[in-house]
Structure 1
Amino acid sequence: MRKRRGIVLIVTLWVLMILVVLALTFAATMHVEARAAANELYRTRALYAARAGVERTILAIGQDQTGYASPLSEWAALDSEADEFPFSNDERYEVTVTDECGKIDLNAADEELLAKLPGMTDALIASILDWRDADDDPRPDGAEVDYYSRLKPPRECANRSFLTLPELLLVRGFTKEAFYGPKVAGQTRFETTAPERATEEETLPLEELLTVYGGADDLDAQGQERLNINVADTTALAEWTDGILTEGDVQAIVDYRGSMGAFDSIGELLRVEGITREKMQQAADLLTTRSRASESSGAGSTTGEQPPPGMPTVPGPPDDAGQPTLPGLGGDTGRQAPGGETPGPPGFPPPTPDPEGPTPPQPSTSNVADIDLAALPEAGDFRPNILNLNTAPPETLATLEGMTEQVLNAIADYREAQSFTTRGDLLALKEMDEALFAQLVEAVTVRSSTLRITAIGSVDEGRIRVRVTAVVDLKQSEPRIVYLQAG
């Protein structure tokens, strides 16, 4: 009997031990699942905090009336802790904005322009051109379908324009180190640490030099159309420049044009008697040498392969239309003829467009009957590879024809303290001579047509962080998200 009771005790202890182990295992499993559920909730909150940062930035862009895009703009770096719309819980967002108009358009750059970028070799350039051309014939040092089909796993050669910039990593010869930079090349797409920018001594990675959303419309800093000096008469020139140029100045311009032929650049106006640097600085942003029928041309390139006006279409969420466009960014309004009235305060959208598609704005000529419409560029006259003076890094500014190191340094010094408000402000640089101004002025802008918004949302005292990247098209009456990535 005593032996039997001992066996029962041992069995009971084993059963209790098993039950304790099962209970502890169940508790641990429940704890892990509860923590996973909490983390998922935190990630969702962080995601929507980041999305709130994107939308808040779009709102701030729409409220900006400065007429130019610059790192000194209030919307260029937003933080929910300093925002007038704080969160009620511990959610937080941090936003940085990058101007795509400060980069080289990968789809529009020709061989000569690509060769000016740091790190580009003949083989890399040939591979880019083969990837985006329509045929299967490889260039010397290039790569077409024969090369890509032998890879493991094999892939197609696109033979079309790049749709996104990371697509460049599919092209032969391009590495993560060259694309992202050595500091972030090893990170996975799930890591949310913001990439560090290169220091002055380091070369910027290709991610910060190239884009598929580059270029700008041929509009002035306020998003209004420019007057073509090659066809406008004296009345139009005088009215359009609104007191900047005198009657004698505009007559001298017309006389010079009649004897010397058409102007190749508005900078050549400095050759005309009576046109001083001060007058040119004020008038440069109002004038152009381009007509309605002129072809788009890029900075440092006039013969490269040109994509259709605009940008590759990357579908975005249908509810992501944002706020009214910033005059210095989007291009929704046309210049009223001198004496005309602007419909509504600047920066607010025009009446709702026809759902079939927007109608390009037409300039009013009600008060200046002899302004020839051919003297105005067609609304939305898109020009790839026009660089924003305020946001372009030295590496892309250096690709502009005629650019010198001395002027590059002068531009960098100028924008440390203030922004270029029009392209005419180039003449504020003492290093800028008249010949170089004529080369540069029509290759630059102070506007942006596309911004990249990077928002990092965080919760739980920053332990959970989620990054959202949105590319926002500003060329329409309202900002429109054309690319969105979370994670």
Structure 2
Amino acid sequence: MRRAQRIVNLSLPGRRAGAAFILAVFAMVILVTLVTAFASLSQADIRLSANFSQHLQSLALCRTGVNLAMAKLAADRDTQGDVQTDSLTDGWAQFGGATGERIEFDTGWIRLEVVDASSRLNLNTAPRAALLLLPDLTDEVADSLLDWRDADSEPRESGAESDYYSALSPGYVAADAPFLSLEECRLVRGVTDELFFGALSGDTVTPGLLDLLTTHSGEQDLTAEGEPRLNANTADMRELRQRLGDVVEPQALSALTDLRARGGLPTLGQLLAVDGWRPEMVAAAVDNLTLGDQPLREGTVNLNTASDEVLATLPGMTDELRQALVDQRQNEPLANVGEVIALDESGVSFFRQSADLVATKSAYFLVEVAAGVEEDGAPQLCVSALLRRTSDAVELVYWRETDSRVLRKGWKWTV
């Protein structure tokens, strides 16, 4: 009995040592786990810091790109001379996007393109008939776009209002207000990615709404020489004779002022219906006339820069006139909309229907910039900026940063 007691007593220190060893191993495991976790967190912090640093560099590069575009537009305005027009042969149009080349800096690179916003159809003012002439645009999409931008909550025959959108998951409501950005189109019923971004089939490119529409367009209501236009319905006879006496006969000017007693001139295109106003007379005089009292004519399409798809949406545009216009502007841009009358036998009809919808210069320009900091990498940041150019300055209207992965489907350049 005593021997057994001694054996038990002798074994107790060994058991304590074993327990201590287990505790030490457990503590070591915890310590290693904590060190590993802290190391992972440190690496994550380093990656986050690097990503944030690259974002800041890309942001600075995008700002540089927009500033370069603003300088180019200002220089173009100052060097055009006596006649102010905007065309695809101007310096701003040849800058960046025309060549697709990257502009290199010590901190990274950018690609950029300057686009005349008035080369596109204005989504906030275009009528249904014009929208339906865009490639692959259906009745459903046209009505839904109109329902989205109008103020009421009554859907058109093929359209949609908040009742439709609120039933989706997740649900939302229609804006019932003008579009603030083209990206807003993607919320509208029937607007698919293919319709919005466009499609490529073999060598055939179908442009999307992204390249055909705009939310801002227009021109300053000035002549090609930079003078304020005269309101055809309010200017007195002395002003009209002083400005138009060399190109318009006195009887025709009197007929124009006499028309005011019957409500005045409804559209500039109706000048062709005023007694004594022959087509060649209208062509020479129209750039001096307006029907508005605002500094900007909103929603106009620039005949010197619009694509075939956009030109085709204008009332009265024929295939023959469109081709004649494209041929003409390759040689010399139109100085004013009156010149379209002599381009083709359908020019008179087109002018009568669309004179108030078109222009030959622009006030709004889109700048698209992609920036990256890695020489062979994808862009870290893409920016779309809208600029407004006046006689005195080039101003930033809005700036939107966009993840390059989102825009890549619609982006024009490959890395």
Q: Please report the TM-score for the alignment, with normalisation by the length of structure 2.
A: 0.73
* Residue number in structure 2 paired with 1:165: 182
Specify which of 133, 142, 161 is matched with residue 125 of structure 1. 142
2:305 aligns with 391
Where do residues 134-153 of structure 1 align in structure 2 (5 Å cutoff)?
134-153=151-170
Residue 24 of structure 2: aligned partner:
none
Contact 1:106-1:212 at 8 Å conserved across structures: yes
CA displacement, residues 67-111 of structure 1 (integer Å, 9 cap, x when unaligned): 22222221224359x9xxx97625333321112212222222233
RMSD (CA atoms): 4.3
Cα distance change on mapping 1:259 and 1:422 into 2, 3 Å: closer
Deviations 1:157-194 (A, max 9, x none): 222222222111111111111011135xxxxxxxxxxx
Name the structure with the higher strand share: 2
Letter matched to residue 179 of structure 1: F
* Identity across matched positions, percent: 31
> What amino acid sits opposite 1:253 in the alignment?
A
Q: 1:268 to 1:47 in 2, by over 3 A?
A: same
- Give how far 1:389 is off: 0.8
What is the CA-CA distance between 1:276 and the residue it aligns to?
A: 7.4
Deviations 1:308-348 (A, max 9, x none): xxxxxxxxxxxxxxxxxxxxxxxxxxxxxxxxxxxxxxxxx
What amino acid does structure 2 have at the position aligned with 1:42?
Q
Indicate if the aligned counterparts of 1:102 and 1:393 stay in contact, CA closer than 8 A: yes
Are the structure 2 counterparts of residues 476 and 166 from structure 1 closer, same or farther at C-alpha, using a change threshold of 3 Å? farther
Asked if 1:47 corresponds to 2:47, the answer is: no
Query: Which residue does 1:239 correspond to in 2?
Result: 242
Q: 1:238 to 1:43 in 2, by over 3 A?
A: same
The whole-number CA distance in structure 1 between the counterparts of 2:154 and 2:229 is 42
User: 1:286 aligned to 2:303?
Assistant: no
276 and 114 in structure 1: CA distance in 2 versus 1, 3 angstrom threshold: closer
* Counterpart pick for 1:445 among 359, 374, 379: 359
Q: Which runs of 5+ in 2 are unaligned?
A: 1-30, 403-415
Query: Counting helix residues as a fraction of each chain, which structure ranks higher?
Result: 2
Where do 5+ consecutive residues of structure 1 fail to align? 1-18, 184-197, 291-376
Q: Is the 8 A contact 1:426 1:432 kept in 2?
A: no
Q: Secondary structure at the match of 2:73?
A: helix
User: Which residues in structure 2 correspond to 1:70-89 (within 5 Å)?
Assistant: 70-79=87-96, 89=106
Report the TM-score when normalising by structure 1: 0.63
| Distance in 1 (alpha carbons) for counterparts of 2:273 and 2:174 | 49
Distance 1:457 1:400, change over 3 A: same
Shift of 1:450: 1.5
Residue 135 (structure 1) shift:
3.1
Shift in Å at residue 381 of structure 1?
5.3
Q: Distance in 2 between matches of 1:430 and 1:199?
A: 34
The 1:477–1:461 alpha-carbon spacing in structure 2 relative to 1, beyond 3 Å, is: same
Please state whether the residue corresponding to 1:140 is helix, strand or coil.
coil
Q: Report how many residues are paired.
A: 367
Please state how far the C-alpha of 1:388 moved relative to its aligned partner.
0.4
Deviation at 1:113, TM superposition (A): 2.9
Q: Whose radius of gyration is greater, 1 or 2?
A: 2
1:142 Cα deviation (Å)? 2.2
> Aligned in 2, Cα 1:485/1:199: closer, same or farther, shift over 3 Å?
farther
Q: Give the drift of 1:202.
A: 3.5
SS in 1 for 2:224: coil
- Which of residues 225, 229, 244 in structure 2 aligns to 1:226? 229
| Distance (Å, rounded) in 2 between the aligned partners of 1:88 and 1:254 | 59
